[in-house]
Structure 1
Amino acid sequence: MNNRSSDMCEGPLFSRIILYTIPIILTGVLQLLFNAADLIVVGRCCGSISVGAVGATGALIALMINLFIGISVGAGVTVAHGLGSGRYEDVRKTVHTAIPTAIISGAFLTVIGICLSKTFLLLMDTPDDALPLAASYMRIYFCGTIASMLYNFGSAILRAAGDTKSPLYYLTAAGILNFFLNLFFVIVLKMDVAGVALATTISQIMSAVLIIRTLIKRDDACRLELKKMHIYSRQLKRILQIGLPAGIQSSLFAISNVIIQSSINSFGSVVMSGNAAAQNIEGFVYTSMNSYSQTALNFTGQNYGAQKIDRIRKIMWICLISVFCTGAVLGAAAMLFGDQLLSIYITDSADAVKYGLVRMKYIMIPYFLCGLMDVATGLIRGLGRSVLPMLITVAGVVGIRLGWIYVVFRIPEYHTIQSLYISYAISWAATFIAEIIVFIFIMRKIKTSSNR
């Protein structure tokens, strides 16, 4: 048995949490560099309308794939519980169930994405000048979703076993490939947004192959044997019990973002361009904070499996304090250098940069609230409860944002881009407060049960 899988249940927590989280942060940053490279190359070579076209697809793509990425979370939690409690045969069956589930999920997304991309973009009121480019980008992007799902499911398994470095190494290689393919397809072949979508798809295939290769070469319960792939009903049920609510939560979360994106689209392509560039910059801060949520989930999962309840309380405090500091510092730094950062993406429209700065002002300063919310979600899921954070998020994030759009935003004096952005911070704060109260209640219940 690879001894890395026991690190979460033994030894000092602070140093282990930080060392575990840093590779996840770097991995997330590399994933964002895929999209950043797309936007930068397109912005400098094709113009701000192409930037807006790529940016307009982000919320829609997230809506379509988040359900299945949530299921990969279920696979990771199930593996973590099995490793923590020493049920290694359950871990083996979970691994061999998760990979075919990833393939089926990716194939389904490919069909839906290719067939319905333009229809969905029309429903989002995507401007006519950006629609053909956005539709082309999405169709090519969804050709790579099988690879994307294999990478996400495989990474979830590796992280549950304590290996956060392998996904980092593989995305480094894929990110370098993506960058050079962007330059070749856009500058040499003049493919515009289709070129960056193709580059992203090829790089996703590379990272998926490397992840599967690593699982095949492992010598512990997480080892993948291709001939033994089989969907075991008991393991699939457990994966879905945890992962499906997580996926539904992410999808509903994305629905609110799609509706907000539709409202942003109504202000025109210049606002869309500024918003897309600002969103990409925010992504680097978000993925740094969200990495602590993944850490909280896996550390809580293994320690819950090992029934080390007192360590879970320490995990909570370390992750909450760490994510607050990370979000506050990075958010302030991004806001301070916002003009320079946006100018990397947009070179032909001062107005687009101006609107990007408006978004950053309202999102970056309170962004740490989003990090606190995500960590609280990870803590609850690590305890095997996935329906509760889903319900809280639906009420606290989706409910507040949709209520804001359909009530406050419709008032003439509040029908502004600034009004849309304010809804984010309000929803983060309300959801975090509710989730941390629920987590404390569950912990007290678990403590009481263990003392009987």
Structure 2
Amino acid sequence: MKNSGLDLTKGSVLKVILAFAWPIMVSNIFQQLYNTTDTMIVGNFLGENALAAVGSTAAVFELIIGFTIGITNGMGIVIARYFGAKDDVMLKKSVAASITIGFMVALFFTVLGWIGLYPLLQILGTPDNIIHQAYHYIILILSGLLITVSYNLGAALLRAIGDSLTALYILVFSAVLNIGLDWLFVGPFQMGIKGASIATLIAQALSTVLCWTYIYQKRQLLIPKRNHFRIDKNLYRDMLGQGMSMGLMFSIVSIGTVILQTAINGLGVYIIGAQVTARRIQAFFIMPMTATASAMATFASQNFGARQYERIIKGIKRASLVVVIWAIFAFLFLAFAGKGLTILISGSNQTELLSASQLYIRLTTPFYPILGLLFVLRNSLQGLGFKRLPLISSFIELFGKIIFVVFIIPKLGYLGVILCEPLLWVPMAAQLYIAYRKKREYFKSYRA
């Protein structure tokens, strides 16, 4: 193959995983800057109510965007398999299928959002004094969903062939631009909360153009021709199955978060602000774990296509060690730096907000090693083409959050909100580990 990326089927297992993972991690950091910059600038310029408005939309945003990102990543796993198998024809056909499916998904969710977003915010119990700000913030971002899907599909294609570095360069540029536009629109231009949405859309649009221009000029193996767009029922079934599986996994988790948001919204503006601040901090510190896990999806898929089964098992062990070591570091660091980060991101000195945010950090960080193992196992199983097993862990989380919202949070209040997810990580990780053990024995007996 010409113009190929990093071949994860060769070389030192740990080195290729880390070489592939670190650009994903840095990309995720700058991707998170989109949301965190909105939070910081909105909180500092517009106050606690505007901060709560952004926070109240977080679960809905994760639900819609998470599903579309899941679909593109899932289709990227199929593409990585054909790349590992060195099958140029099926690679181009799978790219063509991913473009068609991605466009339809973006269009569907854009229309669905226009129709149902405001009623959904009402159902979630968004406080009356912030619901209009929340709606105007999220509806603008949702209107640019085709841009978001286009970028994430392009990045997924590059990662499928082992090129996680190019997407990083593009995202760094657009994230820096987003920070500047956020400050300009919300601050000097006084565009309010809408300014943060517009800044995000402009930055994402530029990253999309740059990403696909690079693919067209430098990665011709990913450019399908007209004949590759002919519908292959088996291929589309595989692409949709893998994409929907990962998309549903993301969305089921996000549905649980949306349900949890209803309980959070009933606890007041300061608690909403504390929750969004603490989760922004958490999002940054779990990024090395999510990046390693994302690398494992591509690593497992490429090596599955190349029939390197023993290499896959070795890779899962190495990745698990990496995420546990990082989780311990994050726990120790946040024990000392949590308060300062809370003040920095929230832009608030309100005692209730700061105390609630710090309590969230103190109680969740001891569970980070379990969360890291959960990420690695879930992504590895997805990369191996097991569509249903990772979904089970997502359903565990969904039903667990429903139980917490109905029975536990009404009694424990915000403490119940904090304990909900960490306690659910334990059975989720256990289910995935049991599933992996069974499949590992299968691969040991099946390897060439």
Q: Structure 1 length as normaliser, TM-score?
A: 0.94
Shift of 1:108: 2.0
Native 8 Å contact 1:114 1:138 kept in 2? no
- Tell me the equivalent position of 1:310: 310
- Tell me the equivalent position of 2:68: 68
- Tell me the equivalent position of 1:364: 365
Cα-Cα RMSD: 1.8
- Tell me the equivalent position of 2:272: 272
C-alpha distance 260-7 of structure 1, shift in aligned 2 (>3 A): same
C-alpha distance 23-56 of structure 1, shift in aligned 2 (>3 A): same
C-alpha distance 225-208 of structure 1, shift in aligned 2 (>3 A): farther
Correspondence for 2:433 among 432, 436, 439: 436
- Tell me the equivalent position of 2:148: 148
Native 8 Å contact 2:93 2:224 kept in 1? no
| Residue 235 in structure 1 maps to residue 235 in structure 2 | yes
| Residue 420 in structure 1 maps to residue 417 in structure 2 | yes
Structure 1: distance between partners of 2:342 and 2:87:
50
Structure 1: distance between partners of 2:191 and 2:149:
26
Shift of 1:216: 1.2
Structure 2: distance between partners of 1:148 and 1:231:
25
Match of 2:197, SS state, is helix
Native 8 Å contact 1:113 1:138 kept in 2? no
1:192-203 equivalent positions in 2, closer than 5 A: 192-203=192-203
Q: Structure 2 length as normaliser, TM-score?
A: 0.95
Native 8 Å contact 2:3 2:220 kept in 1? no
Residues 337-391 of structure 1, C-alpha deviation per residue, up to 9 Å, x if partnerless? 1111111122352321111112112222312322211110011111111111102
Structure 2: distance between partners of 1:318 and 1:133:
46
Structure 1: distance between partners of 2:187 and 2:390:
45
Identity rate of aligned residues, in percent? 24
Structure 2: distance between partners of 1:172 and 1:420:
34
Residues 204-239 of structure 1, C-alpha deviation per residue, up to 9 Å, x if partnerless? 111111111122123453235689656544332111
C-alpha distance 217-3 of structure 1, shift in aligned 2 (>3 A): closer
Structure 2: distance between partners of 1:315 and 1:308:
11
Structure 1: distance between partners of 2:286 and 2:428:
16
C-alpha distance 226-363 of structure 1, shift in aligned 2 (>3 A): farther
Shift of 1:65: 2.7
Shift of 1:172: 0.7
Structure 2: distance between partners of 1:415 and 1:219:
54
Match of 2:221, SS state, is coil
Structure 2: distance between partners of 1:449 and 1:384:
15
1:13-412 equivalent positions in 2, closer than 5 A: 13-224=13-224, 232-344=232-344, 345-395=346-396, 397-410=397-410
| Residue type at the aligned position of 2:51 | V
Structure 1: distance between partners of 2:306 and 2:352:
55
| Residue type at the aligned position of 2:136 | S
Structure 2: distance between partners of 1:322 and 1:84:
24
Native 8 Å contact 1:48 1:348 kept in 2? no
Unaligned runs of 5+ in 2: none
Native 8 Å contact 1:285 1:331 kept in 2? no
Unaligned runs of 5+ in 1: none
Native 8 Å contact 1:89 1:221 kept in 2? no
Structure 2: distance between partners of 1:158 and 1:258:
31
Shift of 1:448: 2.0
C-alpha distance 114-288 of structure 1, shift in aligned 2 (>3 A): farther
Native 8 Å contact 1:99 1:154 kept in 2? no
Total equivalences in the alignment: 447
* Stretch deviating more after TM superposition (112-121 or 427-436): 112-121
Match of 2:187, SS state, is helix
| Residue type at the aligned position of 1:365 | P
Structure 2: distance between partners of 1:210 and 1:361:
40
